[in-house]
Amino acid sequence: MPDDVNPSRHPKCFGGAQVAVLLGLAVLVTALVSVWVTRAWLQPAPLEPVVLSDVERRTLEGKLDALQGTAEPPTPGTRSPIVDPQARVEPLVDPDAPGEPLIPELYSEDPAARVLYFTERELNGLIAGHPDLAGRLALHLSDDLVSATMLVTVPPDFPFLAGRPVRVNAGLGLRHEAGRPEVVLRGVSVMGVPLPEAWLGGLKGQDLVALYGAEPGFWRVFSDGVADLRVEDGRLRVELAE
């Protein structure tokens, strides 16, 4: 039988009911995508801050004290203060132990104390304690990479989305190579769209320490003060220089 008269070889046509169902599904999918884009990008909800427990907070405070070069305070009552009974000057008070006199100690250095670990939860808990950053910044740690999610308010004089918060994602590569730390900007995305390198001032893929470490300032001090720097899955390892 010729092909033009064989009904089995002709494509099937959709009926009116089937076309209506397909159009309805297309409209529904479009509406759902529009709602998702609006909520996720045009009306992003505040980032949920990390609330540390009392134990986690004390542990983090100890690490920050070590990072700032302060020693662990002695246990109150373990040593007798050296105070001249004839002196009229009041003894100094230890700021880390209110009500206790300042006690002289023999200086010593523990090499292991130079290595500090900060977990992803601790860093996000530290951010949550800052009133200007809480609910607007969150960090994710993976191998050699720090990923940041931020809610940034568009300037009021911007041509579109003026005054509205938008979701911004950024990646920063961190590692220690050739005896110095490397801080490389991997990229920045706004509402899921990667920004061109020209819009980032040509800094994408550049090592910020190599660019600015030779000049006096933050990057030079940072480079000279860090003996090793590693980002692992879920934590940051920092080894301070001698």
The per-residue pLDDT for 177 is 87
Please say if the pLDDT value at position 218 is more than 70: yes
Burial 118-129 (b: 16+ CB within 10 A, else e): bbbbbbbbbbbe
The per-residue pLDDT for 242 is 82
Token couple for 65 = 């004290």
The per-residue pLDDT for 107 is 81
CA distances from 235 to 114, 121, 183 (A): 16, 8, 16
Rounded CA separation 229/118 (Å): 12
Please say if the pLDDT value at position 44 is more than 60: yes
Q: What does the pLDDT look like over 121-166, one tens digit per residue?
A: 999 998 888 888 888 889 999 999 999 998 888 778 777 767 778 8
The answer to whether 152 and 163 are in contact (CB under 8 A) is no
Please say if the pLDDT value at position 80 is more than 60: no
Please say if the pLDDT value at position 108 is more than 80: no
Which pTM does this prediction carry? 0.63
Average pLDDT, integer, range 216-231? 87
Rounded CA separation 136/83 (Å): 50
Locate the domains of the chain by residue range: 54-70+110-240
- What does the DSSP 8-state code read for residue 199? G
- Percent of the chain having pLDDT more than 90? 14
